[in-house]
Amino acid sequence: MNINRYILLFVLFFAASNLIAQEDLLNQLDSIKPKEKQVAAAAFKGLQICNMQSTKLPVKGEWYFLVSHRFGDLKEGINNFFGLDNALTKIGGIYGATNWLSFSASRHTFNKTFELGAKYMLISQKDDGFPFTFVGYHTMDINSSKFDEEEFPEFKANNRFAYTSQLLISRKFSESVSLQVAPIWVHKNLYDAQPGTERKDQMLVSGGGRCKLSKRISFNLEYAFRINEPEKEMYHNPLTAGFDIETGGHVFQLVFSNSQAMNDVAYFTNATGKWNGGSLFFGFNMYRVF
């Protein structure tokens, strides 16, 4: 009788232990969540590659204050103090409304242009997931220059407006190398209709990249090809090279370009210089984040 009691107690103890072990295993299984694919770090350190926009956006609540200069033609040498006498300036601000949407406003010396912009994330590159980042970017230019009514009797208020629409597609291949391509559309309400100069609507395909040289310095390069406008003597495809210099979490950019204008409409369609013996313009982009 005593033996049977011991056997019964052993069976009850074994069953209880087994149930507790199964419950612990189920709790552990419930605590395991599917691994989420992480968004890759931004392909570019700056909001611009050089002149072109990159796929980087401000985070929600960030304010960027931007000052850019493009000095005059370097080939003039000491006559214009290597471009310092003929600088163009851009002053603007950028606000991150959300983590995927930002708005910008800037004023340019070139044609006294006011430029408004919107930039938004469509899809992000993810580690072990989608391999590219897609960003939309649109600008509206307002030419505030004074127009002589006698010289331009048919001039209308809407002639002051010009627009760009861009689809930025980038991939970060490693911590050192990132590349970007973008189809671009430019529309001008006011343009030079002389043959070989400008078009009302112009399509471009651009490409750019970043190569990290050291912990704080990278080399950047960008180029845009005008599809429906062959190379002419007056305007040329924009080509720009530069360097990102990271200083205390901020990026200072030095650039060399065949375009002195910095607003997107003029940069893509009115580059007057050439790298092979033509005009070149040195400048910088400086951002301050608040």
Half-sphere exposure at residue 11, Cβ-oriented, CA atoms within 13 angstroms:
6
Both tokens of 72, joined, read 């005059």
28 φ, ψ (degrees, to nearest 5): -65, -40
- The alpha carbon of residue 201 and the mean position of all alpha carbons in its chain are separated, in whole angstroms, by 22
In 3D, which of 102, 97, 95 has the Cα closest to residue 63? 95
CA–CA dist 160, 144 (Å, integer): 7
Is a pLDDT exceeding 70 seen at residue 5? no
Mean pLDDT of all residues in 78-98: 84
What pLDDT does residue 10 have?
Answer: 44
Is a pLDDT exceeding 50 seen at residue 226? yes
Quote the percentage of the chain above a pLDDT of 70.
Answer: 82
Contact 74, 205 (CB under 8 A): no
- 31-40, 60-69, 115-124, 263-272: segment of lowest average pLDDT: 31-40
Contact 59, 99 (CB under 8 A): yes
Mean pLDDT of all residues in 32-47: 73
Residues whose CB falls within 8 Å of the CB of residue 67, separated by 6 or more in sequence, listed in order: 89, 90, 91, 285, 286
In 3D, which of 179, 109, 167 has the Cα closest to residue 137? 167
What pLDDT does residue 221 have?
Answer: 98
Name the residue with tokens 């809407």.
158
Is a pLDDT exceeding 80 seen at residue 94? yes
- 26-30, 91-95, 147-151, 266-270: segment of lowest average pLDDT: 26-30
In 3D, which of 238, 239, 262, 258 has the Cα closest to residue 113? 262
Contact 56, 45 (CB under 8 A): yes
Is a pLDDT exceeding 50 seen at residue 15? no
Is a pLDDT exceeding 70 seen at residue 152? yes
Contact 255, 69 (CB under 8 A): no
In 3D, which of 274, 206, 186 has the Cα closest to residue 54? 206
Q: Which of 114-123, 144-153, 266-275 has the highest mean pLDDT?
A: 114-123
Mean pLDDT of all residues in 100-108: 97
What pLDDT does residue 46 have?
Answer: 92
